[in-house]
Each structure stands twice: as structure tokens, then as C-alpha cells.
Amino acid sequence: MTIKAGDRLPDTTLVKVTEEGPDKVSSADYFKGKKVALFSVPGAFTPTCSAKHLPGFIEKADDLKTHGIDEVVCTAVNDAFVMGAWGKSAGADGKVTMLADGNGEFAKAVGLEMDGSGFGLGTRGQRYSMVVNDGVVEQLNVEAPGEFKVSSAEHMLDQM
């Protein structure tokens, strides 16, 4: 079942990318007590994700924070090393926290996984964005397959 506004995020393990290396975190603990703009991409270094999605949130991170967002987080079904390299190459440091969902546990738990095997990607997370307040989804924007409209930082700002 797909998560919806008003639902609490399920507790899974994600991996936060840090300068010291990968750091496993509980999603229940990580999202507790703060307001987070979370967005998911099908894969690091993929065309739309690298050209539009991540750069848009990097560019708008400060604007989101003026609207009460404490942290901007990107997740994808990639390992922590790939997420770290992608964040570094995109200039995400200090703007967007990269959380790896290497085994796709989080994507599956929120009901937003997708089958990318036709493109050699296997099971991935869909493209979406959400505002999570103290672990509860306040706003959820899931893209139609192949689209990039409602999960953008600009769309999220328009909803605030």
C-alpha cells in the first residue's frame, strides 16, 4: 500500500553519507523532531535526476528552509558510495543530505518502488517528493512514469 499524507513513515534502515563514511540510520529516528523536504529519484547519475531533480533542490534549499524546512534529503536505491560521489559532484554538500536506500527497503516500505528492469536498473524507487514533519507525511507528490513536474523543488515551494 502506498503511503499517503497523514501516515507515519515506516521504520527502515537508510545509510547517511558522511565524510567519515557510511552511517546506518533508522528512518524513524532520523525524521523524528524535524521538518524534512524529502525527494526520491530512480537513480544517481541518471539524466533527469542529475540535470534537473537534484540541482533544483540544491538551488532551492535555502528557500525551502525559509518556509520551515529543517533539512532537505535525497534518497535513491543506490549504495552510499554512489550517493556520496553523486552528491559531491553535484555540489550538494551543506544543501542536500544524501540518504542511500541501497536495498530498496525504504522504497518498498512506503509503497513507491518501481520496476526499472527494462532499463537494466532492477527495482528502484519512484520519482517523488514529500514533506515529512516529525515522521509524518504532510505532503506527497508522486510523478507519473517518465514525468518530472510535481516532485520538483519549485512545485514543493508553490505548495507552501
| 49 is known as an active-site residue | yes
Name the percent of the chain lying above pLDDT 70. Answer: 99
C-alpha cell read off for 23: 552511517
- In single-letter form, the type of residue at position 33 comes to G
C-alpha cell read off for 123: 527495482
DSSP H or E stretch at residue 120: none
pLDDT in tens, 57-73: 999 999 999 999 999 99
Question: Can you give the residue ranges of every domain in the chain?
Answer: 13-159
Assign 17 a pLDDT band (cuts: 50, 70, 90): confident
Name the CATH superfamily for 13-159.
Glutaredoxin (3.40.30.10)
Integer Cα distance of 85 and 20 in angstroms: 13
Integer Cα distance of 81 and 99 in angstroms: 10
Q: For residue 14, is pLDDT > 90?
A: yes
The catalytic position among 49, 58, 112, 131 is 49
